């Protein structure tokens, strides 16, 4: 087993040592956004107190340092994802921007009327709405891999759905409401067999378990830094070099051009081609620091830890009357969505908050899935490596109290 001192790890997160509504903060809203360790906060402070300048354009010391820090972060992210080279990493504000970038540029070049974009019924709005917009612009059609009763994808339907008309198969690695871990390598293989390009939404997996784009065999992968200990406004798109270089540019502006005349411009190759204007330099530096921090613990270790908490949570929630957990029993990530007969998710979340417990209630940007499951939303507890078994017990006690309170 691992020899991580989890208490010491937890102490790296200043925000956790506070009282909320008179109770110790019990932060279980990690699937929405994770907290930041001191190492990441310090990386930002150091950047601004020592190295800050604009990147790429300068021949002075600070500008060189800023550029090295920014490009160094790109190398870290590339390694973290198992990408073939740093040129395959485009920095974005997060998952949503990365998916929109693909839908707009790859989509403009490669999607035509009658083509099919295959999604799943469990996609976050961020991996659904951009494709709806692309379908509307191009006349392409959307298809969905159904979610089965047990919260997993109905893979037996894949043969029918993944036809030669499918140009893109975009799916989430881990469902943010059900917790389902999808068999991404298998899905990518199936897509490749019909010549479809794949995009993996790794928003929920990126900081939680080993993610390797070449093992997965995906063409694109999108993630957000803020869910993996990094600053808000950081994140990236991974794209296979061949695909990125075949895509038209996205935003026009400084840094993405080779030559500009008043009439026309020529564009750099990826990743610069897709990073017009001054980027979120400190955000990237913070993301690099988050990669280092997470790798210091180890993603396999984190997964093991989160899974242990999840199992314990499932056991404790199972004891509560009228509480029903959504999603599969096995192959699930570190989050638990559930309903409680006695209380609507919003009432339950308000109740929890008064006890210092941060949960999330609602549709979790999965409106159509909630409708399909005939749920008015769920309440979600999501774990990260700084959470403890004692916290899970405290959560269960608070929920038990809620059952009594709202009965």
Q: List, by residue number, the catalytic residues.
A: 365
Which residues have a Cβ under 8 Å from the Cβ of 333 and sit 6 or more positions away? Answer: 174, 179, 180, 181, 204, 205, 208, 209, 306, 310
- Of 62-70, 78-86, 120-128, 373-381, the segment contacting ligand PLP by CB under 6 A is 120-128
- CA 58 to chain centroid, in Å, comes to 33
Among 30, 67, 172, 180, binds ligand PLP (CB under 6 A): 172
Query: What are 25's two structure tokens?
Result: 């903060």
Q: Which does 20 bind (CB under 5 to 8 A by kind): ligand PLP, other proteins, a second copy, none?
A: a second copy
| CB neighbourhood size of 16 (10 A) | 16
Contact track, ligand PLP, 276-315, x by CB under 6 A: -xx-------------------------------------
Q: How far apart are CA 188 and CA 179, in angstroms?
A: 20
Which of 253, 265, 156, 143 shows the shortest CA–CA distance to 196? 143
State which H helix or E strand residue 189 sits in: helix 184-193
Contact flag: residue 367 with ligand PLP (CB under 6 A): no
Helices 281-297 & 38-46, crossing angle to 10 degrees? 150
Contact flag: residue 359 with a second copy (CB under 8 A): yes
Near other proteins in 371-400, by CB under 8 A = 376-377
- Of 210-218, 241-249, 302-310, 345-353, the segment contacting other proteins by CB under 8 A is 345-353
Residue where the block lists tokens 């564009």: 267
Q: Which does 382 bind (CB under 5 to 8 A by kind): ligand PLP, a second copy, other proteins, none?
A: none
Task: Provide DSSP, 299-340.
Answer: HHHHHHHHHHHHHHHHHHHHTSTTEEE-S-SSSB-SEEEEEE
Among 107, 217, 279, 377, binds a second copy (CB under 8 A): 279
- Of 73-81, 101-109, 139-147, 338-346, the segment contacting other proteins by CB under 8 A is 338-346
Q: How far apart are CA 407 and CA 394, in angstroms?
A: 20
Q: Are 294 and 228 in contact (CB under 8 A)?
A: yes
Helix (H, G, I), strand (E, B) or coil at 379: strand
- Which 8-state DSSP code applies to residue 172? E
Q: Which does 252 bind (CB under 5 to 8 A by kind): other proteins, a second copy, ligand PLP, none?
A: a second copy
Contact flag: residue 254 with ligand PLP (CB under 6 A): yes
Q: How far apart are CA 382 and CA 386, in angstroms?
A: 12
- Of 157-165, 287-295, 299-307, 359-367, the segment contacting a second copy by CB under 8 A is 359-367
Q: Which does 201 bind (CB under 5 to 8 A by kind): other proteins, a second copy, ligand PLP, none?
A: ligand PLP
Nearest approach, Cβ of residue 369 and ligand PLP (Å): 11
- Of 109-117, 152-160, 257-265, 322-330, the segment contacting a second copy by CB under 8 A is 257-265
Near a second copy in 280-309, by CB under 8 A = 280-283
Residue where the block lists tokens 């006890």: 355
Nearest approach, Cβ of residue 119 and ligand PLP (Å): 12
Query: Which residues does residue 199 pair with via DSSP β-bridges, in sequence order?
Result: 170, 220
Residues engaged in binding other proteins (CB under 8 A): 21, 56-57, 59, 64, 257-259, 266, 268, 343-347, 350-351, 354-355, 361-363, 367, 370, 376-377, 405-406
């Amino acid at each position: 087993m691992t020899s991580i001192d989890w208490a010491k790890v937890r102490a790296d997160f200043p925000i956790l040592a506070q009282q909320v509504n008179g109770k110790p903060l019990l932060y279980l809203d990690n699937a929405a956004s994770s907290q930041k360790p001191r190492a990441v906060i310090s990386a930002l402070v150091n950047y601004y107190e020592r190295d800050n300048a604009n990147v790429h354009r300068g021949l002075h010391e600070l500008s060189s340092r800023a550029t090295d820090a920014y490009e160094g972060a790109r190398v870290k992210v590339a390694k973290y994802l198992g990408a073939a080279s740093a040129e395959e990493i485009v920095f974005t504000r997060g998952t949503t921007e990365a998916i929109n970038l693909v839908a707009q540029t790859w989509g403009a070049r490669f999607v035509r009327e009658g083509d099919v974009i295959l999604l799943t019924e469990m996609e976050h709005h961020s991996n659904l709405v951009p494709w709806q917009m692309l379908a509307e612009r191009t006349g392409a059609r959307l298809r969905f891999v159904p979610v089965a009763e047990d919260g997993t994808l109905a893979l037996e339907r894949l043969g029918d759905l993944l036809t030669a008309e499918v140009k893109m198969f975009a799916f989430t690695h881990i469902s943010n409401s059900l917790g389902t871990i999808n068999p991404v390598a298998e899905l990518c293989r199936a897509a490749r067999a019909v010549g479809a390009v794949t995009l993996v939404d790794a928003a929920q997996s990126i900081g939680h378990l080993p993610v390797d784009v070449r093992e997965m065999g995906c063409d694109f992968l999108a993630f957000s830094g803020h869910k993996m200990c990094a600053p808000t406004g950081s994140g990236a798109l991974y794209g296979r070099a061949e695909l990125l270089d075949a895509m038209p540019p996205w935003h026009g502006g400084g840094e993405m051009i080779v030559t500009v005349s008043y009439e026309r411009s020529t564009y750099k190759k990826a990743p610069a081609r897709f990073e017009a204007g001054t980027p979120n330099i400190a955000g990237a530096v913070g993301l690099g620091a988050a990669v280092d921090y997470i790798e210091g613990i180890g993603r396999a270790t984190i997964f093991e830890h989160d899974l242990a908490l999840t199992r314990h949570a499932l056991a404790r929630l199972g004891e509560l009357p009228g509480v029903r957990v959504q999603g599969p029993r096995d192959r699930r990530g570190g989050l638990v969505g559930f309903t409680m007969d006695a209380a609507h998710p919003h009432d339950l979340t308000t109740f929890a908050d008064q006890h210092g417990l941060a949960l999330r209630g609602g549709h979790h940007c999965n409106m159509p899935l909630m409708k399909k499951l005939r749920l008015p939303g769920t309440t979600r507890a999501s774990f990260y490596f700084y959470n403890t078994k004692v916290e899970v017990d405290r959560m269960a006690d608070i929920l038990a109290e809620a059952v009594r309170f709202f009965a």
